[in-house]
């Protein structure tokens, strides 16, 4: 199936390195990042999984749970975890789904036959607490992902969900943001943005990040 932004993502139950995962129950009221790997014991995947483990405190601060996936079986994952921890200098502190029957890969359209008809591409899904899909990214197997960028997008999503703003190009936490064009009432703007704003154009109004 093809998932689009705003869709409710499919639920599933699958084995993992942390035991059976009942996805909706496991996610609970948290945000989630589900990301797939082409194959166990591959170099780029090993670096990605290790780096994500090091970032887990940052995901925790944002109420985000992380879940990896590969279509290899559980015993392969278990052996691979040792390599990840040895080479990347960190404990693997989140589960890897063992999707050998490709159930989750098919539900989330992680196998792209024109790239490879057997293994998953490097897919990323950011899912909000309402189980809605908020971001998708798809990388080729040869290119490692930028997990700092994934954190940046989560910061933007959580900020813009709570305030009438959008984040401009290359925005980083702490930078000025854009007041959404739909907000026009001066009194409401003054109430929402007591730090004021700078109107570069009527539709382009910059204001300090409101939750700081």
| Domain-wise residue ranges, the chain | 13-145, 163-207
Rounded to whole angstroms, the Cα distance separating 117 from 178 reads 42
Q: What local confidence, expressed as pLDDT, does residue 38 receive? A: 84
45, 64, 66, 127: the catalytic one is 45
**Using one digit for the tens of pLDDT, what is the confidence trace for 97-133?**
999 999 999 899 887 544 444 455 689 999 999 999 9
The C-alpha atoms of residue 158 and residue 128 are separated, in whole angstroms, by: 9
Q: What is the mean pLDDT of the chain?
A: 93
Q: What is the pLDDT of residue 117?
A: 45
User: Which contiguous run of DSSP H or E holds residue 201?
Assistant: strand 198-201
Residue 22's DSSP bridge partners are 13
Distance CA 92, CA 73 (A): 17
Check residue 121 and give its pLDDT: 62
Residue 45 a catalytic site member:
yes
> What is the predicted pLDDT for the residue at 147?
96
pLDDT, residue 114, reads 47
H or E element at residue 69: strand 64-70
The reply to whether CATH 1.10.3720.10 applies to domain 13-145 is no
pTM recorded for the entire structure: 0.92
The three-state secondary structure class of 14 is: strand
What is the structure's pLDDT at 112? 58
* Crossing angle between the packed helical segments 43-54 and 147-162, to the nearest 10 degrees: 40
């Amino acid at each position: 199936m093809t998932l689009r932004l705003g869709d409710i993502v499919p639920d599933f139950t699958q084995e993992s390195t942390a035991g059976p995962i009942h996805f909706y129950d496991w996610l609970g009221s948290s945000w989630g990042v589900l990301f797939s790997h082409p194959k166990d014991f591959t170099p780029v995947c090993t670096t990605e999984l290790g780096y994500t483990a090091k970032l887990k405190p940052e995901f925790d601060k944002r109420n985000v749970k992380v879940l990896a996936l590969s279509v290899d079986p559980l015993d392969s994952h278990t052996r691979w975890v040792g390599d990840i921890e040895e080479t990347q200098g960190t404990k693997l502190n989140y589960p890897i789904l063992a999707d050998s029957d490709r159930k989750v890969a098919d539900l989330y359209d992680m196998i792209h036959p024109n790239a490879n008809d057997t293994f998953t591409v490097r897919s990323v899904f950011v899912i909000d607490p309402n189980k809605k899909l908020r971001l998708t990214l798809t990388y080729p197997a040869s290119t490692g992902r930028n997990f700092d960028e994934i954190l940046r997008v989560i910061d933007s999503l959580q900020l813009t969900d709570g305030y009438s703003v959008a984040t401009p190009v290359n925005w980083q936490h702490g930078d000025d943001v854009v007041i959404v064009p739909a907000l026009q009432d001066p009194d409401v703007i003054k109430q929402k943005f007591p730090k004021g704003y700078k109107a570069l154009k009527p539709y382009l109004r910059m204001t300090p990040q409101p939750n700081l």
